Chains A and B, each alone.
Chain A
Amino acid sequence: DAGVIQSPRHEVTEMGQEVTLRCKLISGHNSLFWYRQTMMRGLELLIYFNNNVPIDDSGMPEDRFSAKMPNASFSTLKIQPSEPRDSAVYFCASSLGGVGNTIYFGEGSWLTVV
């Protein structure tokens, strides 16, 4: 299995632009997580889905952020409009719900908003 696949790996965008990050889950996994990592805040859970349904979005910073799972294997995280404080590494991760819950991370999307 190729693991969790994220795109783009790196993005530099101007303040005010829309950013869309994409994620493909590991085949067979049914839980999907979006994390944000910065030096100041560490690893923050933004939102997680189980069987395509958003279960906990309490970590989503504000209305500028939205996440969707249009199908069981794919998710997007959108920031509109983007701001410099959104600059971070965004990790997507997936797991097979139930006993174990080992989370497998993608390689991350490095976002810089200038």
Chain B
Amino acid sequence: GENVEQHPSTLSVQEGDSAVIKCTYSDSASNYFPWYKQELGKRPQLIIDIRSNVGEKKDQRIAVTLNKTAKHFSLHITETQPEDSAVYFCAASGIGAGKSTFGDGTTLTVKP
């Protein structure tokens, strides 16, 4: 089955700096890669996703890149703000597979 590894497990940045979280996956058939943000005491919520026919996708301060050859994808947050502090999860799944495999999460802390 699919195996997703996520790094780093914790990340601390100064407000205004950029943050990068990286994930690798094992199943070359995976073609959908969502990222979820979970604030303290809340549920995980989708913030951005990318499909295998796209190499990069941006949404304001958030971007995701995908390298299918190397089987890794990354989340980039620019101009970080304290409200970006949360746990971020990456995931990977294939068409019709139904089940997404999640990474272990990255706790991002943005210091004001």
Contacts and interface: CB of A to CB of B under 8 A. Distances in A.
Contact of A103 (B34, B95, B104, B105): B34
A interface SS class:
strand
Contact of B95 (A56, A99, A105): A99
Interface of B: 32, 34, 42-46, 49, 51, 89, 91, 93, 95-100, 102, 104-105
Contact of A43 (B32, B51, B95, B105): B105
Nearest to A32: B98
Given A48-B98, A55-B98, A100-B32, 16 more contacts: A31-B98, A43-B102, A50-B98, A55-B99, A91-B43, A95-B100, A98-B95, A99-B95, A99-B96, A101-B32, A101-B34, A101-B98, A101-B100, A102-B34, A103-B46, A103-B91
A100 B34 CA distance: 9
A105 B43 contact: yes
Nearest to B49: A102
Interface in A62-88: none
Contact-residue bracket for chain A:
20 to 34
Nearest to A4: B43
A48 B32 contact: no
A97 interface: yes
Contact of A33 (B42, B43, B49, B99): B99
Contacts of A95: 98, 100
With most chain A CB atoms within 10 A of its CB, the pick from B42, B43, B95 is B43
Interface in A21-80: 31, 33, 42-43, 45, 48, 50, 55-56
Nearest to A30: B98
Contacts of B51: 99-100
A98 B95 CA distance: 5
22 contacts: A31-B99, A33-B99, A42-B105, A43-B44, A43-B102, A45-B102, A48-B98, A55-B99, A91-B44, A95-B100, A97-B96, A98-B95, A98-B96, A101-B93, A101-B98, A102-B34, A102-B49, A103-B91, A105-B43, A105-B44, A107-B43, A108-B43
